Structures are given as structure tokens and as C-alpha cells.
Structure 1
Amino acid sequence: MSESKSEMRRRVLDARAGLSPFVLAQHNAELAEWMYRLPVELDPGDVVAAYVATRAEPGGTAMLDALLDRDLRVLLPIVPEGDPTRLQWGEYHGGDALETGRWGLLEPRGYRLDPDALHEAKLILVPAVAADRTGARLGRGAGYYDRTLAAVDAPVVAVVHDDELADDGVPHEANDVPMDWILTPGNGFVKIG
């Protein structure tokens, strides 16, 4: 019998909670290095949407700073008040310009961009709890990213730890937006399809 979304989410998040801070720091450093070898051609000033990692989520601000180092414009999500809907966005200007937002998530301080700002993105990096080589992504369960990504055409990359990428079997539904790549610290960008 296959795992449900909630069972898989619980199992992976429990494993993440036991991840050594040293291993997490190494994973984040490796992910930052991959920002210099993105799977799409980008010019200075192009927009990349990303996220601020929480707890043992892969990514960290090193990944965001590497994008800035490439002279890219980085948009980060802002969770709007109310029921789950499309994400708003703000521009990343370094870790010191982040503030605590809804649910304790770090968000960019300053002007909020509406969800349509994401149409400017040439590449979108999203957090995932797990992903598989068919393009299925397991998120946290509220559906913010699926609602947001359904309206855009840019390539989407799910970022996970190496052991959170499966060949297949990540539970998904018809309204879950499939990924174009999966990024892991050890394997880099894995193309779907």
C-alpha cells in the first residue's frame, strides 16, 4: 500500500528534524554552488523566484545570495492573510532585509508585489517536502504554490535533500503542478521528462 500525502509528509519532516546542523550547512553550501549552473540561460537583471528556507528545509540564504551575486533580481513569497490563495512577492535584498511574516516565515521587508509579478520570472525555485523523477512534488499541504504556479509558464524547480528525491511514488493529485526539474545538493538539476 502506498503512503498518503500526510504520511509521507510526516515521515520526511521527522527525518529532517533529526538532520545535523553541519549536514544541513553542507547541503545549503552545495545548493548555493548550483545557482551558478542554473538549467536556463539568464542575463543580469532577469528575475528568479525563490524562497527562504525554514528549519531543516534545503536552501538557506546562501542560495539566495548566490543568485544576487549573479546580478539576478530575486523575488520571495509573502503569504497573504486569510484562506490559502496565490502568493504575493517581495524583492530580496539580503538576509538583513527579511522580517518575520505569517506563520513565522521570513519574508522580504518593504513593498509587496501582487501574484502576477511572478510572470516576470525566468525560473522559479520552490520548496518541497519530497519530489520524484516524474515531476510530482509534495509540499506542506496548504496549496499556496499550486495555486500560484498554475498561472505562470516559467520553468519550476523543486528543491529537496538528496534522500527526498524518489524515482516515483510521491502522492499527487490532478491539481498539483508538475515540476520541470528537481534540484538536490548532490545531484544538481534533474530534468523531468
Structure 2
Amino acid sequence: MHDIASKTGLRAELLGRRAAMPPEARSAAGRSIRDALLSVPEVEMAGTIAAYVSIGTEPDTRSLLFALWKRGTYVLLPRLLPDGDLDWASYEGPDSLVPGPRGCPEPSEPPRGPGAVGSADVVLAPAVAVDRTGMRLGRGGGSYDRALARVGPAILTVALLYDAELVPNLPSEPHDQRVRAAVTPSEGLVRLG
């Protein structure tokens, strides 16, 4: 058990590293992550995938979302609720995204409720870092911890990371939810736990 200050400092350090990456390196990483995920058996077979629209310096998900949608996968994307929880709605292509709270693009389709994430066959989650046990360090709002708590134990939950963000261990708190895998540009899908 570590304190919140250590998580805050680590988060700031890792986000600083992301910001220092050249845009071309971030683009190349996003393409590698997309290609690795599209070949994962659970992703290939999934009828429904809960994903997210990357913002800022996060590994790019836009081409991944488009590729999943074009191949007929039902893609759910989050809509941030006023209490910080996540509602979910379907992605109907790049033109279906509208500006949401805090500048996060979100789907314009009707909301399906916070529990909709529980119907996904695969859940892709943003993270600042993940350790080898699956402990995930997010942005600190707790939105994805709440969403991941609604996902069954047999569902593949995957954090999308840059190479240096899969680390030996992370500080954690009781409410933190683990992911079952991470995907990085160099390693592809890494199963954790």
C-alpha cells in the first residue's frame, strides 16, 4: 500500500515523458498498438468492444476504433457523467463523435447506461502505467475503476501503453481495479496477473 502522493508524483512524471515524445513516435506507437490489438484472438472474435477515444498524448485509438467499426464490431465508447462515472454509447464512425466534458470526444448516439460496459467481450482502458500484476495507474478521477468493477472476471481488459509504461510495480489503493493485459508497441499484447 502506497500513499496518494506517490501516485500523483509518478503520474506527473509519466505524463511529462509522454509530452516529451515526438509526435511521429506517438503516431508510430499508435499504429503498432492498433495492429497488435486487431490480431488478438479475443478482439478478432468480439461482438462488442468497449473502447475510448484517445486525447492529448495518449496512445492513439482513432484508427483502431475505425478499423473495429469497419469490420463490423459493435464499439461502445464512454460518456463522462457529472459524478465522474461513465455512461456508454455506440460509435458509428468518426462523424458520430461530439465534444464532451473536459474536451473528451464522445459518441452522439443515445446513452446505454453505466452497466453497458458489462456486456462487452473486450474492454480497452486508458492508463498512464500498468504493472506486471495488472495494477493500473489512471488519471486519478476513478472513472475507469468504477467501469472496470462492472466487468466480469472472464472478460479481457486491456490497457494501452507506450513501451516504458509497463512497469514492475505500482502504488495502489483498495478501490483500484486491475486489468488482465496491456498492449505496448514493442511487446504487443502482454497478459498480466
Q: What is the TM-score normalised by the length of structure 1?
A: 0.91
**Partner Cα separation in structure 1 for residue 43 and residue 34 of structure 2:** 17
Shift of 1:96: 1.8
Shift of 1:66: 2.0
**Partner Cα separation in structure 2 for residue 31 and residue 126 of structure 1:** 13
- 1:21 paired with 2:23, answer yes
Residue 189 of structure 1 aligns to a residue in which SS?
Answer: strand
Write the letter of the residue equivalent to 1:16: R
- The aligned residue for residue 183 of structure 2 is 183
**Partner Cα separation in structure 1 for residue 140 and residue 26 of structure 2:** 23
| Greater than 6 Å deviation, 4+ residue runs | none
Residue 75 of structure 1 aligns to a residue in which SS?
Answer: strand
Shift of 1:42: 4.6
**Partner Cα separation in structure 1 for residue 124 and residue 174 of structure 2:** 21
1:8-54 deviations in Å (ceiling 9; x for gaps): 1100111111111111110111111123212526547x100000001
Q: How many residues align?
A: 189
Output aligned runs, 1:1-193, within 5 Å: 4-40=6-42, 42-43=44-45, 46-81=47-82, 83-85=83-85, 87-153=86-152, 154-168=155-169, 170-193=170-193
**Partner Cα separation in structure 1 for residue 102 and residue 69 of structure 2:** 26
Structure 2, unmatched stretches of 5+, are: none
CA contact (8 A) 2:52 2:78 kept: yes
Shift of 1:68: 1.7
Higher helix share: 2
**Partner Cα separation in structure 1 for residue 96 and residue 77 of structure 2:** 12
Shift of 1:98: 0.7
Shift of 1:110: 2.2
1:97-116 deviations in Å (ceiling 9; x for gaps): 11110001010112111011
Change (3 A) 1:41 1:21: closer
CA contact (8 A) 1:133 1:167 kept: yes
Q: What is the TM-score normalised by the length of structure 2?
A: 0.91
Residue 38 of structure 2 aligns to a residue in which SS?
Answer: coil
Structure 1, unmatched stretches of 5+, are: none
Percent identical: 37
Write the letter of the residue equivalent to 1:136: M
Shift of 1:152: 1.8
**Partner Cα separation in structure 1 for residue 7 and residue 128 of structure 2:** 10
**Partner Cα separation in structure 2 for residue 101 and residue 114 of structure 1:** 16
Change (3 A) 1:59 1:38: farther
